[in-house]
Copies of this chain bind each other. A is one copy, B any other.
Amino acid sequence: MTPEQILTTTALASWKQVVARLDQALAPLSDEALHKEVAPGRNRIYYLVGHLAAVNDRMFPMLFAGNRLHPELDEPFLAQPDRKMPDSHSPADLKQALKEVNEKLTEAFEKFRPEEWLQRHSAVSEEDFAKEPLRNRLAVLTSRTNHVSFHLGQIILAR
């Protein structure tokens, strides 16, 4: 492997590890357990699962990695807070959507070459990117990996 390949493979390994831990934390949870709040008055695990699926699903267009799988999750799990709308999905369907999104993203990421990780993401213009090369695709991956970790820390509390 070239130095660039080792660097991007290391970052991708971190994403895969965090996503695997999330999957392990969620897999044993019953529908009832998924409806528990992570702390009194806070988001339910159910909501966080939908929220993570929606946020991660948005990486497909953001990283030019294909079309979104679940745009219908944006309204209930991004635009609205928990419990604002009637539950739109069964807990099992929601867990499956998250798993599917993360698996397809990982498949797409495995094919990225190092120079592709260094290219701009779709939320930054070519003009701005010329001035700010750190607004690259790898920055989106590390940011989303941290976002999963952030909510995983909360999910763990309610189990």
Contacts and interface: CB of A to CB of B under 8 A. Distances in A.
Interface of A: 1, 3-4, 6-11, 13-14, 17-18, 38-40, 42, 114-115, 117-118, 133-134, 136, 138-139, 142-143, 145-147, 149-154, 157-158
A11 B151 CA distance: 20
A1 B8 CA distance: 16
Given A18-B146, A38-B157, 14 more contacts: A3-B114, A4-B7, A6-B118, A6-B136, A7-B138, A13-B139, A14-B142, A38-B39, A39-B40, A39-B157, A142-B145, A146-B146, A149-B149, A149-B153
Given A40-B40, A149-B146, A10 B154 contact: no
A138 B10 contact: yes
19 contacts: A3-B115, A6-B118, A6-B133, A6-B136, A7-B138, A10-B138, A10-B142, A11-B138, A14-B143, A17-B143, A18-B146, A38-B39, A39-B158, A149-B149, A150-B150, A150-B152, A151-B153, A152-B153, A153-B154
